[in-house]
Amino acid sequence: MDSVADTRTIELRVNGKAYSRPAPVRMTLSDFLRHELKLTGTHVGCEHGVCGACTILFDGRSARSCLMLAVQANGHEITTVEGLANGKDMHPLQAALSDHHGLQCGFCTPGMLTTLVELLNDNPSPSAEDVRVAISGNLCRCTGYEGIVAATLDAAQKMRAGAGGRS
């Protein structure tokens, strides 16, 4: 069982903060973020890469943290849901999700947010169809997605107009 207990020290930046931590070589990135760094905002819904709840931004691109090992994050930059707000000010997407009732139980929300932040970085003027396609790999059992799509279009419009978030 020695090999499974092996650890490597990894260095990474999460939400702008540098960490140097030992990580068991077989630990998933999602577990590392949640249980080692105590960033429990990233949720684990299926652990087989389908539900999208664990989506993070890995060097700015969306990725399933349940399908990556923590050691793969060595030397990389990660953003989780905890890193989206600017202090007390929520990201416009966060505010818009609340305005449009785009979350109910909120379990899928962190993965929705990171996925949609990437979308709006790539495409500041998405259509409703663009948004639906972007979150087609993020499952939500509560909302039927409607509020999420409406919120994203609203946030995109506000971000184009230069509005910030709100506290």
Partner 1 sequence: MSGRIVGQSVERLEDRALLRGEARFVDDISFPGMWHVAFVRSAHAHAMILGVDVSAALDVPGVHAVLTMADLEPHLSDRLLRVALPSPAYRQELHRPVLADREVVHVGEAIAAVIADSRYIAEDAAALVMVDYDPLPVVSDCRDAMAENAPRAHRDAPHNLAAEFDMGYGDCDEAFAKAAHVFRENYWQHRGVAQSMECRGVVAALEPMSDVLTMWSSTQTPHAGKRVLCGLLGRDEDKLRVVTPDVGGGFGPKLVFYPEEAVVALAAQIYGHPIKWIEDRREHFVSTTQERDQHWDMEIAVDAQGQILGLRGTLLHDHGAYTARGVNVAYGSAAAITLPYVIPAYQLDIKLVVTNKVSVTPIRGAGQPQAVFVMERLLDRVARELKIDRAELRRRNLVAGAQIPYKTPLKTRGGMQVVLDSGDYPACMAAALERAGWEDFPRRQAAALAKGRHIGLGVANYVEGTGRGPFEPVSVRVAENGRIHVASGAAAMGQSTKTMLAQVVAEQLGCDMSNITVVAGDTGAIELGMGGFNSRQAVMAGSSAHAAALKVRQKALHVASHMLQVGEQALEIEGTAVRLKGGGAQVELAEVAKAVAGLPGYYIPGNVEPGLQATEHVIINDMTYANGTCVVEVEVDAETGLVRVSRVVFAHDCGRVLHPKIVEGQIIGGIAHGLGNALFEWMGFDENAQPVSTTLAEYLLMSSTEMPPPIEILHLESPSPLNELGIKGVGESGVIPMTAAVASAVEDALAPFGVSIAKVPINPPDLISLIHGASQEMRA
User: What CA–CA distance (Å, rounded) separates 156 from 116?
Assistant: 10
Q: Compute how many residues bind partner 1; rule: CB under 8 A.
A: 61
Q: Between 58 and 145, name the residue whose CB sits nearer to partner 1.
A: 145
Q: Between 4 and 161, name the residue whose CB sits nearer to partner 1.
A: 4
Q: Between 75 and 164, name the residue whose CB sits nearer to partner 1.
A: 164
Read off φ and ψ for residue 163, nearest 5 degrees. -75, 145
25 binds partner 1 (CB under 8 A): no
Q: Which of 14, 23, 45, 156 binds partner 1 (CB under 8 A)?
A: 45
Instruction: Scan for tokens 């409607």, then name that residue.
Output: 146
User: What CA–CA distance (Å, rounded) separates 21 from 1?
Assistant: 22
Q: Which of 10, 32, 42, 62 binds partner 1 (CB under 8 A)?
A: 42
User: What CA–CA distance (Å, rounded) separates 14 from 67?
Assistant: 18
Instruction: Scan for tokens 């249980």, then name that residue.
Output: 35
Greatest CA separation for the chain: 57
90 binds partner 1 (CB under 8 A): yes
**Cβ proximity of 116 and 124 under 8 Å:** no
- Please measure the distance between the N-terminal and C-terminal CA atoms of the chain and give it in whole angstroms: 49
Q: How far is the CB of 107 from partner 1 (least distance, A)?
A: 3
Segment interacting with partner 1 (CB under 8 A) among 38-46, 57-65, 68-76, 154-162 = 38-46
141 binds partner 1 (CB under 8 A): yes
**Cβ proximity of 38 and 18 under 8 Å:** no
* Secondary structure (DSSP) of 29-47: HHHIIIIIS--TTS--S-S
Q: Which of 69, 70, 135, 159 binds partner 1 (CB under 8 A)?
A: 135
Residues in contact with partner 1 by CB under 8 A are 1, 4-5, 24, 26-27, 34-35, 38-48, 50-51, 53, 80-82, 84-85, 90, 94, 97-98, 100-101, 103-110, 113, 131-133, 135-150
